[in-house]
Chains A and B, each alone.
Chain A
């Protein structure tokens, strides 16, 4: 499959008073046309930093140390800021978490959409106004003509997020990066927005990189999943492979710690402890200190990836032929 976006060996660090914080360490993944790749991880896993790196929207204290991000035949890491500006919003668009702060409170909705249309699609005044109404309609906002003149604070959270999606679509991007797009929304509104995103993806064949910590959302939206922990991708696979045939103890922990609505469980298998401090990352596997199956080698050496199928791979010493056999726990999709 031809990949639209290919990230290779990305390394991103923050330079703070406490030293260098290695937020993203050797991350590689690819995104194909029309597919949704979910990057799952908890806070501090590096998933947000990864998505911001693709857009080159990192804070001044952060630096892409090495690696490449190939898109449309170019390496985004090497591009000048000017060239990036022609890509942002046009080829790759981003949706952020909080609809309250991602819209300019002093500009009308219409103006914010039209701004994108005029810059990236070179539309004239009348044409862009018409298209803006079309976009608002496409994202399911009732009475779109009236909304053009309204300000963000006059809309509810769900409506605002729809506007954010409309703005993202205005440039007709090939890739949309959605960073926790529904986390700040109520669950019933979240269902609306997820439905909307799926419908739009079908209609427009856009590829989506979905950053989230909610496995339910992943199961609902994603075709492929990459699991991140402490700056590294520990497992990648199709959504079925990750939920039913996962191989990494962290993925097991994540799956097991989610209460299942349709099953009763006595105790949630929590992962004890907290993620490692990335200003002083452990030399071995970052999950070793919290892993119930940790072996001596896990503390000493970083595990390499083992390919299980051509879509499924995981980085864990348990997969080494010399390691003891460990069964996937029931709570993580294991066999009964």
Chain B
């Protein structure tokens, strides 16, 4: 999407870090030096497996956590740091979040109306009860629910319906940027499609920008314009959705793609897989140099001593991997000449 080059980014993240003190002098580096941009109107997909820090990143961007170091800006002004009451209020209207757990994200003791109207109440967007109710009805309509649902309680709804209530709640304050933290992971497949279609529709109608955090690559590819892949607290690759699947650069991305079972038996029978061995290292004590080297099929000597630089390997395609920094070793591995580890051709 070359049109991105001319746009100003809506969100700019620069060397963002979020560490947690887990006692005994140990630090959990949940987000460790991440930099990227999100452009207005686009959907940026953020993928990775458990422990990669994508959820923490999302929550830091919406200021549920403070940043340990680094900066994140929205429309040019910083998200963290001291803010006046009115500035905070503005931020809270512009950036909203959709959560993962349809059961825990709604207060069991409140009616649907009160849940959806929470933002309306907090910002005084309705002048009286009638107006408030009308706004709630309109939102219910937008997400495909009935007015009769307004007086019911969360436990009476299915997971997909609850997620839609959560979306309605986020829309109530008219945000321009929505961070969706695994919004469909807890839903059935056919319901996932419902919610994703709804989100796409809303994006078209309201010009929303999304940060879509998920671990299901197929769904993320469908909804995203660009995708970022995270591993153990760091961003390892960013590029356009389609390109990522046609030409993944980072070895982790390749194994991730290779691991996804496709709903196509003939393909499944014939494809060769790159199965990742071993387990995820601890984020309290990540491997030296490149985080991924302990499981990387292409690991070289330099990977243990030096962390790879984040660079634009091709136009709009960023990666942090020594294989793309030039050098004899890198060339040998990439062309398959060097022995050592599986370097399969992937389907």
Chain A interface (Cβ < 8 Å from any Cβ of B): 42-43, 156-159, 186-192, 194-195, 213-220, 239-240, 243, 253-255, 257-262, 264-265, 267-272, 274-275
Interchain residue pairs A-B with the least CB separation, the first 7: A216-B261, A270-B193, A257-B193, A42-B188, A191-B259, A259-B222, A186-B49
Which residue of B144, B161, B260 contacts A261 across the interface (Cβ within 8 Å)?
A: B260
| Chain B residues whose C-beta falls within 8 Å of the C-beta of A188 in the assembled complex | 49, 255-256, 259, 275-276
Size band of the interface chain B makes with A: 35 or more
Number of A-B residue pairs, CB cutoff 8 Å, is 127
Question: Chain A nearest CB: distance from B243 CB in Å?
Answer: 12
B107 interfacial contact with A, CB 8 Å = no
The answer to whether A191 touches B261, judged by C-beta atoms less than 8 angstroms apart, is yes
Decide: A271 near B275, CB < 8 A? Known: A186-B49, A186-B50.
no
Q: Given A213-B188, A264-B242, are A243 and B265 neighbors across the interface (CB < 8 Å)?
A: yes
Chosen A-B contacts, 21 in total, with CB atoms closer than 8 Å, are A43-B188, A187-B215, A187-B216, A187-B260, A188-B255, A195-B275, A213-B188, A216-B218, A216-B262, A217-B261, A219-B262, A243-B264, A257-B189, A258-B189, A259-B221, A259-B222, A260-B262, A261-B221, A267-B197, A270-B197, A274-B160
Interface residues of B in 260-292 (CB under 8 A from A): 260-268, 273, 275-277, 279-280
Q: Are B263 and A194 in contact (CB under 8 A)?
A: no
Closest to A196 in B: B275
User: Do the beta carbons of B279 and A159 come within 8 Å of each other?
Assistant: yes
Residues on B with C-beta less than 8 A from A264 are 242
**A-chain residues with CB within 8 Å of residue B273 when the two chains form the complex:** 191, 195
Question: Complex: how many Å from CA A105 to CA B148?
Answer: 46
Q: Is the CB of B194 within 8 A of A272?
A: yes
Q: Is the interface of B mostly helix, strand, loop or mixed?
A: helix
Choose from A42, A186, A258 the contact partner of B263 (Cβ within 8 Å): A258
Contacts of B275 in A (CB 8 A): 188, 191-192, 195
Closest Cβ of chain A: how far from B286's Cβ, in Å? 15
Please, which residues of chain B bring their CB within 8 A of the CB of A261? Answer: 217-218, 221, 245, 257, 260, 262
Q: Distance in Å from the Cβ of A42 to the closest Cβ of chain B?
A: 4
Chain A positions within 8 Å of B257 at CB level: 261
B6 at interface by CB-CB < 8 Å: no
Shortest CB distance A164–B (Å): 16
* Residue of A189, A239, A261, A262 with most partner-chain B CB within 10 A: A261
**Contacts beyond the supplied A214-B189, A219-B261, A272-B194: 9 A-B pairs with Cβ under 8 Å:** A187-B216, A187-B259, A216-B218, A218-B263, A253-B190, A257-B190, A259-B218, A264-B242, A267-B200
Complex CA gap A219/B260 in Å reads 11
In-complex Cβ contact of B260 among A157, A216, A267, A275 (8 A): A216
Q: Does B191 contact A (CB under 8 A)?
A: yes
